[in-house]
Amino acid sequence: MQRERVSVLIIGGGSVGLAAAAFLAGRGVRPVVVEQRAGLSGHPRATSIGPRAWEALLSTGRTEEFLAVAERRSESRPPIKARTIAEYDPGTAAPQADVSREFLDAIEDFTPVADLGGCGQHRIDPVLLRTVLDGGGEVRWHTRMVALRQADDHVAVTVEDTAGGRGSVIQADYVVAADGADSATRELVGISRSGQGVVGGHHINVLFRADLSELIAGRGFFSPAFVTHPEAGGMLIALDEGDRWCYHIMLPPDGDAALEDYTHERCREVIRTGLGVPEQELEILSTAPWRPTAWLADRFRERRVFLAGDAARTLPPVGVFGLTTGICDAYNLAWKLAAVLGGAAGAGLLDSYEAERRPRSAFLLDQVLRRVRNPRLHWGGTPAQRTAAGIMEHAIAHLCDLYDSAAIVEPRTEPLSFVDARANLDGSPGTRVPHLWLERGGRRLSTVDLAAGVFTLLAGRDGEPWADAARTAGKELGVPVVALTLGSDPWTRVAEGRWEDAAGITARGALLVRPDGQVAWRSPGAGQDHAVRMGQVLRHVLDR
């Protein structure tokens, strides 16, 4: 059997596997992805992702390409609810909350990507694939992982060609299991999962092509549309400027038909009923049954194998958390793997992946389940009602996390606020770097962009001793560190005192931000022995 050696093998070429590969390829690692399908999946489940995922994706530098596929929240229209689409009358229909717009208003002071919202996976994946290939990575289609064995210094993964069944062994320093909710990798390495499991009924996600322009004319553009017809209950989502659509048929819990009865012909009839146009021409492209499930892997790592995306947890699709969280897993893990493989960090840094991502996942799972139990509070209600139900404001749940691991120096101990984003994004260690617009080289960019992909020291305007010390410590340890004094750096324009206010530091203080945008350490003031302290901090974070 043929054998080869790679540094990182990613099992699964869905959006999370591709994101992990894209983040690694940008860091000098040449990841190999094995995917059993013949190519990219053209049938999206996720049609929108949250701001942290957008921040991570833009860190790849493919800004123009991602901007070209992302819908703008500022141009979105509120969803609609009607018995059928044809019966929807904007003049008389009860207005629905414009959740996308409200979300934009809530996040725009806290992230540079506030306006980016809807985007089907089928539009994200091609950009990720190009990023992987241009960065020297490889994606092997038709290739299924069938066995896996861990050794002290590698993982031996047996893969088979799905077309011809030919097998080979790939030895990898590390494996990322991004093989989805039913992850065979997770089972092979013996990681169990816990949770409620199935938390809702059967649905069928039907991808179809149809010209609905006549139907929509005069009704205003909408997406999604909730259809309440008793025989066609579900949700219609526009893709690709309304040429292709997804109809999520909700199978009636007490209906007489089983999942298998939903042939293409039957799906077509249900969709026509939901549209309210019995003769509507439409071409069914593919169908994908699904049920909402709530699972959390009991561990995110077994020796050299790391779980990411749905392999690590499944979240019912309420609130755009599933793929968002998977992309954030990949972003968290990629720089750590690259640092360990490149010799910049000790292997202990990798322990922080589970320490950071599993509690975050458990928290989000709990939040999503509260929304499933109280959908009215997700789509409406007041902050006071949500707080009483233990529901964090949607924008805050997306933007604010707090890591407590050995890769953070003295993490914040105060719990996150459920209602106040500014109080959470205050520069304290373990949180995402505060967002502040500034101008550099004639371009407007955010502190979040500045700190993407590399260790970045962002000091106050008189924080040159920290900046100097960070550059020196980085050189000594062989770790690239960018260091700036915001407010006095000649290339960067920012209103005096703004950064210090945002970061919770004086003019002589500083934040050290990790390559994934999380604050690793903060000195609120001038401090002492800068060179010694910076060396200690970097060694601590990198397990050196």
Ligand X SMILES: Cc1cc2nc3c(=O)[nH]c(=O)nc-3n(C[C@H](O)[C@H](O)[C@H](O)COP(=O)(O)OP(=O)(O)OC[C@H]3O[C@@H](n4cnc5c(N)ncnc54)[C@H](O)[C@@H]3O)c2cc1C
Distance CA 49, CA 63 (A): 16
Q: How near is the Cβ of 15 to ligand X at its closest, in Å?
A: 5
**Residue 313 burial (CB count, 10 A):** 29
Q: How near is the Cβ of 246 to ligand X at its closest, in Å?
A: 8
End-to-end CA distance of the chain: 38
According to the binding rule CB under 6 A, does residue 320 interact with ligand X? yes
According to the binding rule CB under 6 A, does residue 178 interact with ligand X? yes
Give me the residues paired with residue 188 across strands. none
**Applying CB under 6 A, which of residues 7, 15, 280, 352 lies at the interface with ligand X?**
15
Q: How near is the Cβ of 221 to ligand X at its closest, in Å?
A: 18
Look at residues 108, 135, 128 and name the one whose alpha carbon lies nearest to residue 66.
Answer: 128
Distance CA 495, CA 498 (A): 6
Distance CA 295, CA 152 (A): 30
Q: Which one of the spans 36-44, 168-176, 369-377, 378-386 is the region binding ligand X (CB under 6 A)?
A: 36-44
Q: How near is the Cβ of 184 to ligand X at its closest, in Å?
A: 5
Q: From the centroid of its chain, how far is CA 373? A: 24
**Applying CB under 6 A, which of residues 141, 290, 379, 437 lies at the interface with ligand X?**
290
According to the binding rule CB under 6 A, does residue 437 interact with ligand X? no
State which residue, 35 or 489, has the beta carbon closest to ligand X: 35
Q: Which one of the spans 7-15, 95-103, 211-219, 465-473 is the region binding ligand X (CB under 6 A)?
A: 7-15
Size of site (CB under 6 A) for ligand X: 34
Q: How near is the Cβ of 451 to ligand X at its closest, in Å?
A: 23
Write phi, then psi, for 463 (nearest 5 degrees).
-95, 25
Give residues 198-217 in contact with ligand X (rule: CB under 6 A): 205
The encoded tokens of residue 292 equal 């909402």
Q: How near is the Cβ of 181 to ligand X at its closest, in Å?
A: 6
Distance CA 380, CA 97 (A): 7
Q: How near is the Cβ of 131 to ligand X at its closest, in Å?
A: 15
State which residue, 280 or 314, has the beta carbon closest to ligand X: 314
Binding mask 472-511 for ligand X (x = CB under 6 A): ----------------------------------------
Q: Is the peptide bond before 224 cis (omega within 30 degrees of 0)?
A: yes
Write phi, then psi, for 93 (nearest 5 degrees).
-65, 145
Distance CA 55, CA 449 (A): 8
Q: Is residue 524 within 8 Å of residue 505, measured between CB atoms? A: yes
**Applying CB under 6 A, which of residues 27, 73, 123, 144 lies at the interface with ligand X?**
144
Q: How near is the Cβ of 149 to ligand X at its closest, in Å?
A: 15
Binding mask 49-88 for ligand X (x = CB under 6 A): x---------------------------------------
Contacts within 8 Å (CB) and 24+ apart, 527-533: 527/466, 530/465, 530/466, 530/468, 530/469, 531/468, 531/469, 531/472, 531/473, 533/469
Q: Which one of the spans 15-23, 443-451, 463-471, 477-485 is the region binding ligand X (CB under 6 A)?
A: 15-23
Residues that bind ligand X (CB under 6 A): 11-17, 34-37, 41, 45-49, 144-145, 178-180, 184, 205, 290, 309-310, 317, 320-324, 326
